[in-house]
Amino acid sequence: MLEFGQDSLLTLAAVVREGTFDAAAEALHITPSAVSQRIKALEAQVGRVVVRRTKPVTATADGQVLVRLARQWELLTAEAHTELLGGTGERVHLPIAANADSLATWLLPVLADLHRDHAVAVEVMRDDESRNADFLRSGEVLGAITSAPADIRGCTVVSLGAMRYLPVATPDYVQRYFPGGVDERSLRQAPVIRFDRSDDIQWAAIADTVGGHVNPPTVYIPASTEFNRAVELGIGWGTVPSEQATPALADGRLVRLPMRPVDVPLFWQYWKLSSPVLQSLTDLMVAARGD
């Protein structure tokens, strides 16, 4: 059975995290030569290449397995160290992945509660909920908010319900682009706002309304709060999380378009570890989404 040294695993994780051997050496307070020797020794031990010597350095599929092990080892070791010192040690580093809309609506209060109750320092890696599972596979994070229960061995999946998106626009925008209602012709001409090119929520709303795809003028605003503001400024119509849209709907800055809401399921996936911090974060997420 293979046995991996802690130094080798943590060096691999540092190389992948920092992107270069030199940066990893600086982070670990050792020489670049020592980093290179540890990686070569690890590759000799497992009989496989674990990193691609590119810029930035990336883990191979085999290397990702070891990076995941290193991340888990770091978490459990840091928790044990903190517990032994009665909470006076360094804060536990907890990398997770989340989508921008969760961060802008319900997730930050959860993270605030976690930081209040535990000696933790969360690092949030942000991407679309449909792609966050890739962070788990690569070993970059210990948990991720995803839009589907990805098949990742060694992970626990918890449903967080669905996030509802409302198709909305300003009253002036509706009068200009949808005077006769929302149909295929008007949707083809009306500018629409998307988060980025992987954001398919607007396309789902269009397909549900007209039964197919249209190619409207598209504005890309890759930030949740700014996306909402762009819709309120009349740049285009968009699907906005109901939590963000409700105040503007109440005071008339926005109006609902005659399109059905889009519900995007959310799942919290995390590595099966005996980690009090991960379990506490899970409990806080479930409680927040159950409100």
DSSP state at residue 237:
B
| Structure token digits, residue 55 | 């810029």
* Degrees, nearest 5: CA angle 22-25-30: 140
- Cα of 240 vs its chain's centroid, Å: 18
The pLDDT score that the predictor gives to residue 218 is 97
Q: What is the DSSP string of 241-265?
A: EHHHHHHHHHTTS-EE-SS--EEEE
The pLDDT score that the predictor gives to residue 164 is 96
Task: State the pLDDT confidence band at 22, using cuts at 50, 70 and 90.
Answer: very high
The pLDDT score that the predictor gives to residue 291 is 64
Q: Rounded to the nearest 10 degrees, what angle do helices 32-46 and 6-18 cross at?
A: 120
CA distance 155 to 220: 33
The pLDDT score that the predictor gives to residue 108 is 96
Look at residue 166 and tell me whether its pLDDT is greater than 60. Answer: yes
* φ, ψ at 212 (rounded to 5°): -170, -170
Mean pLDDT of the chain: 89
Name residue 166's beta-bridge partners. Answer: 240
Task: State the pLDDT confidence band at 132, using cuts at 50, 70 and 90.
Answer: confident
Look at residue 30 and tell me whether its pLDDT is greater than 50. Answer: yes
| Closest among 52, 59, 70 to 16, alpha carbons compared | 59
| Structure token digits, residue 104 | 């802008």
CA distance 3 to 262: 48
The pLDDT score that the predictor gives to residue 248 is 97
Mean pLDDT of 216-231: 96
- Tell me the per-residue pLDDT of 42-79, one tens digit each, with 9 for 90 and over: 888 888 888 888 888 888 888 888 888 888 877 777 77
CA distance 168 to 180: 16
The pLDDT score that the predictor gives to residue 1 is 47
Percent of the chain with pLDDT over 90: 56
| Closest among 179, 184, 145 to 161, alpha carbons compared | 145
DSSP state at residue 238:
E
Instruction: Flag the least confident range among 62-71, 95-104, 225-234.
Output: 62-71
Task: State the pLDDT confidence band at 2, using cuts at 50, 70 and 90.
Answer: low
Q: Can you list the domains of the chain with their CATH numbers? A: 1-65 (1.10.10.10), 163-264 (3.40.190.10)
Name residue 283's beta-bridge partners. Answer: none
The pLDDT score that the predictor gives to residue 227 is 97
Range of 4-18, 42-56, 92-106, 129-143 with top mean pLDDT: 92-106
The pLDDT score that the predictor gives to residue 58 is 87
Phi-psi region of 161 (alpha: psi -120 to 50; beta: other; left: phi over 0): left
* φ, ψ at 169 (rounded to 5°): -160, 170
Q: Is residue 119 within 8 Å of 75, Cβ to Cβ? A: no
Q: b/e per residue, 66-101, with b = 16+ CB within 10 A?
A: bbbbbbbbbbbebbeebeeeeeeeeebebbbbbbbb
The pLDDT score that the predictor gives to residue 86 is 60
The pLDDT score that the predictor gives to residue 80 is 72
The pLDDT score that the predictor gives to residue 235 is 98
Percent of the chain with pLDDT over 70: 95
Mean pLDDT of 177-183: 95
The pLDDT score that the predictor gives to residue 4 is 64
